[in-house]
Structure 1
Amino acid sequence: MSHELSLAPSPWLERWAHLLRPGMSALDVACGSGRHVRFLAARGLGVTAVDRDAEALAGLRTQAEVLVADLEGAPWPLAGRRFDLVLVTNYLWRPLWPALLASLAPGGLLLYETFARGNETVGRPSRAEFLLEPGELLRVCANLRIVGYEDGFLAEPQRFVQRIAALAPDPAAAAPLRIPLAG
């Protein structure tokens, strides 16, 4: 079964979009054709788009800072830079996690969503190195404030996913961010 991705933004990103404000900086890691870059830029965020596919990035140059980079075989290209939002969808390269976490500005939001164990029963990816283990994102984000987490099955298209919304500590904040809950 193919996991054809639509041009619509991830519902996980849409769910947390109320935390985003014009002028914030955003990093879209392994952004592909840029469905999230467009979504974030339309809301006034300054977006940095990173992917290894120069052709896919070419169409994003008017909406984002684009960076062609090999995220798996070269050093992290954004060392020392911090972002208010770090977004990763449908991509997993575990050695990159320390760099992603270090890229969060104080109080920055990490939105991460990718395939989880169980996906091998419904399609691709099916290799263990590309599937999150149960609770893996919770462990990776143990030093962040977890404000949302899901681990389960989505019917359309069929896939097993794990996703997290987590905030980096902000020692300078006068009060904790009030996150409205649904329901």
Structure 2
Amino acid sequence: MSGTVPGHAAIAAPSPWVGRWLSLVRPGGRVLDVACGGGRHAVLAAQHGYAVLAVDRDAEALQALASRAGGVQVLQADLEQGVWPLPPGARFDAVIVTNYLHRPLWPHLVAALGEGGVLIYETFAAGNETVGRPANPDFLLQPGELADVARAGGLRTVAYEDGFISSPKPAFVQRLCAIREGAGAVAVRYPLDAS
């Protein structure tokens, strides 16, 4: 069973969380969109001038994405079966994950961040079973879990939220924006407003 939300490809609008923090990514950088579904965030990143690699197991969705989005490369891979599909040492300036949870991938996601790389993550959390799907606890983050992932991976948390949203549909979510700092990382000023 997949950790992807049923019908996720049908949600066309990019997440405001992803849109807000995408500005932290190095101009012209490489972005990895994990479990991209219909590619809403891959398209958004490509429109902002990033080179994007979109990964998903749905060949049909990837084919549609590749045909409509310049600047987006696609890779079909079942992230829950087998090995990590990217070569060792592949680094990105951002890794984006939304509406997807497969905990064994966390070390790979963190390792895929280059210096100054930004992890932008948003998915469902405990409590969501009271308002809809997913309801399986295997696909719901526990309190503070994303913040713990960032801390364990040596990332600096820029923003973290854990709570209830009413739009685009009622849901309990956790959201994280974290950066891999290092000697080559560029100092940035973080937007503190929600715009």
TM-score scaled by length of structure 1? 0.93
1:152 aligns to what SS in structure 2?
A: strand
Please say if residues 156 and 178 of structure 2, whose CA atoms lie closer than 8 Å, have aligned partners that are also in contact. Answer: yes
- Comparing both structures, which one devotes a greater share of its residues to helix? 2
1:84 aligns with 2:84: no
| Partner AA of 1:95 in structure 2 | P
Aligned to 2:53: 48
**1:109-128 alignment to 2 at 5 Å?**
109-128=118-137
Runs of 4+ aligned residues of structure 1 deviating over 3 Å after TM superposition are 2-5
> Between Structure 1 and Structure 2, how many residues are aligned?
181
Aligned equivalents of 1:15, 1:82: Cα separation in 2: 22
Q: Distance in 2 between matches of 1:133 and 1:84?
A: 27
Is 1:164 aligned to 2:176, yes or no?
yes
For residues 59 and 3 of structure 1, the distance between their equivalents in structure 2, rounded to whole angstroms, comes to 16
Give the structure 1 partner of residue 3 of structure 2. none
1:121 is displaced (CA, Å) by 0.3
Where 1:36 maps in the other structure, the secondary structure is: helix
Instruction: Look up the match of 1:71.
Output: 79
| Distance in structure 2 (CA, Å) of the matches to 1:21 and 1:140 | 23
- Would the aligned equivalents of 1:116 and 1:162 in 2 still touch at CA under 8 Å? yes
- Identical pairs, percent: 56
Q: Give the deviation of 1:21 after TM superposition.
A: 4.8
The CA deviation at 1:70 is: 0.8
Greater Cα shift, 55-64 or 82-91: 55-64
For residues 66 and 53 of structure 1, what CA distance do their matches in structure 2 show?
A: 11
Instruction: Look up the equivalent residue of 2:24 and give its one-letter code.
Output: L
After TM superposition, the structure 1 stretch with the greater mean CA deviation from structure 2, 87-96 or 76-85, is: 76-85
SS at match of 2:65: coil
User: Gaps (5+ residues) in structure 2?
Assistant: 1-5
Q: Amino acid of the residue matched to residue 68 of structure 1?
A: Q
Equivalent residue for 2:144, pick from 108, 111, 135: 135
Q: In 2, are the aligned partners of 1:21 and 1:44 still within 8 Å (CA)?
A: no
In structure 1, list runs of 5 or more residues that go unmatched.
Answer: none
- The partner residue of 1:149 within 160, 170, 183 is 160
